[in-house]
Amino acid sequence: MIQVALAGNPNTGKTSLFNNLTGSYEYVGNWAGVTVEKKVGTLKQVPGLLIDLPGIYSLNPVSRDEGVATQYLLSEKFSAILNIVDASQLERNLYLTVQLLEFEKPLLIGLNMIDVARNRGIQIDYEQLSALLGVPIQPIVARTGDGCSRLPLMLQQSSEQSAVLFRLDYGSILEQGINRLTELLPTHTNLPSKRWIALQFFEENPIVTDLLSGFVNREQLLDLRQETERLVQEKTGARSLHQYIRQVRGSFISDIVKRSVRVTKQATYTMTEQVDRIVTNKFLGIPVFLLFMFLVFQFTFDWAGTPLSDLLDAFFTGPLAGFFEQMLTLAGTSGFIEALILEGILPGVGGVLVFVPQIFILFLIISFIEDSGYMARVAMVMDRMMEGVGLNGKAFIPMIIGFGCNVPGIMAARTIEQPKERLITTLLTPLMSCSARLTVYSLFAGALFQTHQALVVLSLYVIGIVVALLLAHLFSTYLFKQESSIFLVELPPYRLPQWKTLLRSTWEKGKGFIKKAGTFIFGGSVVIWLLGYTGPSGLHVDINNSFLAAIGGLIAPWLTPLGFGTWQAGAALLTGFFAKEVVVTTMNILYAPSAAETLQGAVANVYTPLQAYSFMAFLLLYVPCFATLATIRKEAASARWTWFTVGYALFIAYLVALVIYQGGRLMGFE
Amino acid sequence: MKKSLLDIPPGMKAYVSDITSVSAVLRRRLIDLGIMEGAEISIKRKLPFGGPLAVEANGQWIGIRRWEAGKIEVEV
Ligand SMILES: Nc1nc2c(ncn2[C@@H]2O[C@H](COP(=O)(O)OP(=O)(O)OP(=O)(O)O)[C@@H](O)[C@H]2O)c(=O)[nH]1
Ligand SMILES: [Mg+2]
């Protein structure tokens, strides 16, 4: 069985190809740094595994996602590398190719984006290029699958052969240095190619330097590097060894590009430039972003989401409930089971499922932002503001992804270069209002803010962002020693997303929600209903004397200053630790709607708008759900920071809700 | 006299002559993208309030901060 690793620059279409060859649906998007983890898939056509890795520019990692890819290539076993090269950016991509060739593993090049190259008038002589590099090349369009079907067989062939010998002449001085270093290395080890090691060492790749110091005296190593550097500087006038190596590779690459590529017309980026003229405009950039956000909410709530979810709601509470009732009567089930289903599971699960339309619309829009190329522009438009709070514009990407779900948002922070900024982003992404919280807003907004739904919900998102920025400022000033922030973002050309891809990635994000409804929320409904059905005095107690009331009552007094000091609110918030949607489940079971009401209607009788707003703000900010906490624990690799997140979130949530409720009362709201 | 990227008007082409005063991590990234001595570079647009610049180099577009662009030395 073959085992092939995908390697290539970021945003060159590795994951698109991976999905095509393995039939998976991994995360694809038009910006650099979408994939941050290793993913393994089974090849469809030949027996074997394909491993998708984060994008890298060299085998010398800066950020954590690059570390994942480099670590894999250096320490895992695989039979061949499939190097994805962006045909429209050939020179830059080939720097990595040269290093992979020096690595001396069987290599095959997938020359991707030939459609883009063709449109820009770049004509590549594939055979010539392949001959010059000494490895097979397959031109492909990973987005549509053109040319991809031949790859698996070629991979099988490559895996069976040994690597081609690739040897770039680095000039007598450096070659001497390489020889001296390889002589110092032991012969019988499972080290990668010795020549490669030597070159990477001279380039100051820290991973390789560490690896080497296991075999050779560190001082001896550094002496050798210094001496070689001095000689190279004297002889060639190069600034550093690193620069010299880069130069040699560069001239090799521009030579082969000259011999195999012809540019027939001047590149034009008309569409990209036109769109950029608006979205990164001096005056319009930020307003356009806000307007876009507002339209998102209009669409999610007023125009499409809510009407659809009202229909679902009416269906659940009407025909579906009626149908279950009849079935249960027919089956002659006991009153207990009937109550469990009709008063527990149906409102509990149904009450969350009615928000499927809103959630899918939100995911559709997030997928559009991801696949169009707008993401990198948002990072750019936001950088000035983020710089002010000690972060950089790229930290906004995890936050936008966090609007869908905080877990992938936190993972996306891996691409941030500076450790301090990465950690702060990891800690603050949970403040982004995820789709699970959207269900709670939908419940309250639908019930209490019918006229300004979109605006009310948008304001909550803004609270989340503003609090995150303020805390970022606080954390970066007081918690971490100042480490200057850096910002560089690649601006890929815009691509009109394909409908198929959009729907696919919407479904991939949204299916988790439906799955949760069938498992977590279903189970939660049963437990919550049981806790409300039983009490210290036995079964079928009045709900106010139930175990649930007792538990919720414990924290209710703490919540009174915030405007919702009822045991119901307390119980609902407690269940929200597991998953935020469960808050809706709990509320629906507790405020059991009578037959005439819809699920949302019942809530309107119990809360005033001010109380509801305070509750929503609290829910937005308080403790992240378990899945998010587990991710923080893993990414920050620290229990302390995880607890810190719980602590600061509770504190801020309390503070904000207090200000909203008490301030609102002072201003005369109730 | 030495000129930085900020001294050339948007749209005009220049060649990178020195990036040694750029901070180490950013320099790494620039080199990763092939933006080093000799590369052709031009400013495409400037964002407001001292925000970042969109720069084109070797046919690709990147966003970098203004004050850091000021440390990239160029020749016209
Ligand atoms: N026009 C065109 N677009 C492509 C092609 N292959 C991929 N894309 C698009 O390029 C973008 C990046 O694709 P991905 O598959 O996410 O790239 P990746 O290399 O996995 O990116 P990272 O995970 O960030 O390293 C997406 O918007 C794809 O739709 C292609 O052959 N032609
Ligand atoms: Mg990817």
Q: What mean pLDDT do residues A233-239 have?
A: 87
Residue A540: is its pLDDT beyond 90? no
For chain B, list the domains and their CATH numbers.
2-75 (2.30.30.90)
Asked whether the beta carbons of residue B29 and residue A62 sit closer than 8 angstroms, the reply is yes
Whether residues A150 and A238 share a domain: the answer is: no
Residue A313: is its pLDDT beyond 90? no
Q: Which pLDDT score, from 0 to 100, does residue A269 have? A: 62
Ligand 1 mean position, distance from CA A55 (Å): 11
Share of chain A above pLDDT 70, in %: 97
Q: Is residue A135 part of a domain?
A: yes
Q: Is residue A278 part of a domain?
A: no
Q: Is residue A271 part of a domain?
A: no
Q: Is residue A274 part of a domain?
A: no
Q: Which residues line ligand 1 (CB under 6 A)?
A: A 10-16, 28-30, 32-35, 54-55, 112-113, 115-116, 141-143, 371, 495
The minimum-distance atom of ligand 1 relative to the CA of A495 is 27
For chain A, the domain total comes to 3
Q: Which pLDDT score, from 0 to 100, does residue A267 have? A: 64
* Cα dihedral A413, A416, A420, A424 sign: negative
Whether residues A525 and A597 share a domain: the answer is: yes
Mutate to test the interface with A, among B5, B25, B27, B64 (most CBs of A within 10 A): B25
Closest residue to A488, CB basis, from B37, B48, B62? B62
Asked whether the beta carbons of residue A381 and residue B51 sit closer than 8 angstroms, the reply is yes
Q: Which pLDDT score, from 0 to 100, does residue A512 have? A: 86
Q: What mean pLDDT do residues B33-45 have?
A: 89
Which tokens is A203 given?
């380039």
Return the CATH number at A187: 1.10.287.1770
Q: What mean pLDDT do residues A401-430 have?
A: 92
Q: What mean pLDDT do residues A618-644 have?
A: 94
Q: What mean pLDDT do residues A427-452 have?
A: 89
Whether residues A475 and A531 share a domain: the answer is: yes
Chain B residue with minimum CA distance to A240? B20
Which A-chain residues 467-486 have CB contacts (< 8 A) with chain B?
484, 486
Nearest Cα residue to A279 out of B6, B68, B45, B17? B45
Whether residues A403 and A528 share a domain: the answer is: yes
Ligand 1 mean position, distance from CA A367 (Å): 14
Mutate to test the interface with B, among A9, A380, A482 (most CBs of B within 10 A): A380
Residue A109: is its pLDDT beyond 90? yes
3-state SS, residue A541? coil
Which tokens is A438 given?
């959207």
Q: What mean pLDDT do residues A55-78 have?
A: 91
Whether residues A203 and A254 share a domain: the answer is: yes
Whether residues A10 and A155 share a domain: the answer is: yes
Q: Is residue A326 part of a domain?
A: yes
Residue A646: is its pLDDT beyond 80? yes
Give the end of a domain, one of A128, A159, A190: A159
Residue A270: is its pLDDT beyond 70? no
Q: Is A521 left (phi over 0), alpha (psi -120 to 50) or beta?
A: alpha
Q: Which pLDDT score, from 0 to 100, does residue A165 have? A: 84
Residue A594: is its pLDDT beyond 60? no
Q: How many CB atoms lie within 10 A of CB A281?
A: 16
Q: How far, in Å, are A414, A445, A613 from residue A608 at the CA level?
A: 42, 11, 9
Which residue minimizes the CA distance to atom 2 of ligand 1?
A113
* Chain A touched by B13 (CB under 8 Å): no
Please determine, for the modelled complex, whether the ipTM score is greater than 0.90: yes
3-state secondary structure A97-154: HHHHHHCCCCEEEEEECHHHHHHCCEEECHHHHHHHHCCCEEECECCCCECHHHHHHH
Asked whether the beta carbons of residue A384 and residue B47 sit closer than 8 angstroms, the reply is yes
Q: Which pLDDT score, from 0 to 100, does residue A13 have? A: 95
Whether residues A34 and A130 share a domain: the answer is: yes
Closest ligand to Cα A17:
1
Whether residues A179 and A133 share a domain: the answer is: no
Question: Please, what is the average pLDDT of chain A?
Answer: 89
Chain A residue with minimum CA distance to B36? A243
Whether residues A49 and A187 share a domain: the answer is: no
Q: Is residue A492 part of a domain?
A: no
Of A130-139, A211-220, A292-301, the least confident: A292-301
DSSP-derived secondary structure for A16-56: HHHHHHH-------SSTT---S-EEEE-SSSSEEEEE----
Whether residues A151 and A210 share a domain: the answer is: no
- β pairing state of A122-124 and A261-263: antiparallel
CA distance, residue A289 to nearest chain B CA (Å): 14
Which tokens is A516 given?
């949760």
Q: Which pLDDT score, from 0 to 100, does residue A124 have? A: 94
Q: Is residue A166 part of a domain?
A: no
Return the CATH number at A96: 3.40.50.300
Q: How many CB atoms lie within 10 A of CB A299?
A: 17
- Which residues sit opposite A139 in a β-bridge? A111
* Chain B touched by A417 (CB under 8 Å): yes
Q: Which pLDDT score, from 0 to 100, does residue A597 have? A: 64
Residue A236: is its pLDDT beyond 70? yes
Q: Which helix (H) or strand (E) holds A248?
A: helix A241-260
Which tokens is A95 given?
């720097």
Q: Is residue A408 part of a domain?
A: yes
Whether residues A120 and A208 share a domain: the answer is: no
Q: Which pLDDT score, from 0 to 100, does residue A475 have? A: 92
Residue A531: is its pLDDT beyond 60? yes
Q: Which domain holds residue A128?
A: 2-159
Which residues have a Cβ under 8 Å from the Cβ of A322 and sit 6 or more positions away? none
Whether residues A326 and A416 share a domain: the answer is: yes
